[in-house]
Amino acid sequence: MAPRGRSARLPAQPTLDLGACEQFLLHEARLLDDGKFDDWLKLFTAEAWYWVPSEPDQADPIETVSLIYDDRRLLETRVRRLASPRMYSQEPRSRTSRIVGNVSLEESGPLPTLPRLRGRNGWGCTVRSKFVMVEYRREQQRLFAGTAIHRLIQTGGRIMIAWKRVNLVNCDAPLDGITIPF
């Protein structure tokens, strides 16, 4: 349940509270662990972006390289490739297991000027969470951890991701290829 103070700040949109956001994040993590990337893509709005910076506290994805920076068109391409039998970096497939926790509501309410979402007004919130993801592939197990920041909006009775930023704790380390989204 949301703390009393938080609840008091929420406008009359009872479904987009901390509990609903947390359930949404768990649902997203499960889709990813289950390899249901098409369904994962459906969580994103038509103008969404997905970002994994290459530097701690990276200011933007425009002037500095990113481990992943996908606008909607690239995100669709990424997900389509994940279904390809010729994606050799996923032959054999990875298996992943994620724990999502420490979920907090950073801001909530009418967000009329969503960054990079020109013209879209909606009820939204920014949710911060921690994750740990184990990836196993071909006799090797890797551990990823970090902070995810989701901008969630409520549209047509659904919660959707307007943007998602994933700050890996080891974003600037030498890393073997990353193929499964966080």
Partner 1 sequence: MNGDLSQFIQPGRVHRQIYTDPAIFELEMERIFGSAWIYVGHESQVKKPGDYARSFIGRKPVVLVRDADGKIRVIHNQCAHRGSLVVANDKGNTDEFICCYHGWTYHLDGRLKAVPLQHGYPKDFDPNNPKTAMLKVPRVASYGGFVFASEAEDGPSLEDFLGHMTTSLDDMIDRAPDDEIEVAGGVFRHAYDGNWKLYLENLCDAAHPLFVHRSSIDAAQAQSDAVHTDGTGEIAIRQMRQNGAPYSFWESQVGIWTYPNGHSYLGDYHDDAKLVAALKDPVFRDYIAALEKKKGKAETRRILEVRRWNSNVYPNLSFMSQFQQLRVVHPVAVNRTVVHTYNFRLKGAPEQMFRNTIAFANTVNGTGSLVLTDDLEIYNRIRLGLSSAGAEWIEIGRGLASDQPDAHGGRRGANSTSEVYIRNMLDAWAAYMTAPSLPSPASRAGIERHAVA
172 binds partner 1 (CB under 8 A): yes
Burial environment of residue 154 by CB neighbours within 10 A (0 to 12, 13 to 18, 19 or more): middle
The candidate with the shortest Cα–Cα distance to 58, out of 182, 137, 127, 146, is: 146
The candidate with the shortest Cα–Cα distance to 42, out of 167, 132, 155, 166, is: 155
Extract the tokens encoding 51.
Answer: 């970002």
CB-wise, 82 or 111, nearer to partner 1? 82
CB-wise, 13 or 179, nearer to partner 1? 179
In sequence order, what are the beta bridge partners of 100?
A: 131
Q: Which of 7, 15, 23, 89 binds partner 1 (CB under 8 A)?
A: 89
145 binds partner 1 (CB under 8 A): no
Q: Which of 15, 64, 97, 121 binds partner 1 (CB under 8 A)?
A: 64
| Contact set with partner 1 (CB under 8 A) | 46-47, 49, 52, 54-55, 58, 61-74, 76-78, 80-81, 84, 86-89, 116, 172-179
